Amino acid sequence: MGNRVEIIGLNGIPEVREGDDVGRLIIDAAEAQGVSLEPGDVIVVKQKIVSKAEGRIVKLVDVTPSPLALQIAKDFDKDPRHVEVVLRESRRIVKMDMGLIISETRNGLVCANAGVDASNVGVEEALCLLPEDPDGSAHRIRTTLEGKTGGPIGVIVSDSIGRPWRNGIVDLAIGVSGLESLRSYVGQADDDGYELKVTVVAVADELASAAELVTGKVERSPVAVLKGYAFTGGGGGARDLVMDRDKDLFR
């Protein structure tokens, strides 16, 4: 009895290269591991393998830093080419201090370095960028997976993100397809009959965080299968998680 959700890490995904079909890699890894993909499953995929498959890799030798990038790099003791790529990936700088650049990406995600990452790139002296359209990436993976299961699958592309006020990063949803990112309790009465006025839960973020419990950073397990979570299907995406600027106290 009681709600049950199972989270299974897939660990047979090979090193991903540009042009790889991530959905197909997931199907193969699940099969090899004896995990049956079924309608109703939620698949959480780390951004890094999605970016690699989409060729979102920039070699440092190909980057010419702008004067601003050179200045910031000098102040923050960073590689100016890395800073340049961060600036190019940013739509807006939210905060720049203490050696950190917090910026908003073109997709509305606010995070350090616009998600540009130098670890686990698979290419020397290179940087990995976020997918250009993570909702679109999730949609493509979902199409492949639903072709296999014949029924609805939720797909989340996740990335590890720092938070104000709290230590440590957590995995959150940066791309979503096939499930509503937000679950609303607006207007439902609680046990006391008290009306919950504005309770909206970011379930896509919670699913991404849950997936991280089985996909470690150094364990080559970039995909998790979540079974038993009754998600609401829908046409939204991770863009639903981006707060409107006029409602945000910390813009």
Comparing C-alpha atoms, which of 214, 184, 212 is closest to residue 199? Answer: 184
The stretch near a second copy (CB under 8 A) out of 56-64, 135-143, 147-155, 217-225 is 217-225
DSSP β-bridge partners for residue 156: 44, 176
When asked if residue 218 is in the footprint of a second copy (CB under 8 A), the reply is yes
When asked if residue 35 is in the footprint of a second copy (CB under 8 A), the reply is yes
When asked if residue 235 is in the footprint of a second copy (CB under 8 A), the reply is no
Q: How far is the CB of 106 from a second copy (least distance, A)?
A: 15
Interaction residues for a second copy, span 136-195 (CB under 8 A) = 160, 163-172, 181-183, 185, 188-192, 194
Comparing C-alpha atoms, which of 142, 180, 173 is closest to residue 156? Answer: 173
Burial 14-31 (b: 16+ CB within 10 A, else e): eebeeebebbebbbebbe
Q: Is the Cβ of residue 61 or residue 249 nearer to a second copy in the bound state?
A: 249
Size of the site for a second copy (CB under 8 A): 80
Q: Are 145 and 27 in contact (CB under 8 A)?
A: yes
Binds a second copy by CB under 8 A, chosen from 121, 143, 152, 234: 121
As a whole number of angstroms, the distance between CA 93 and CA 27 comes to 39
Q: How far is the CB of 23 from a second copy (least distance, A)?
A: 18
Binds a second copy by CB under 8 A, chosen from 21, 27, 28, 33: 33
Region class of 19: left (phi > 0), else alpha (psi between -120 and 50), else beta: left
Interaction residues for a second copy, span 44-103 (CB under 8 A) = 94-95, 97-98, 100, 102
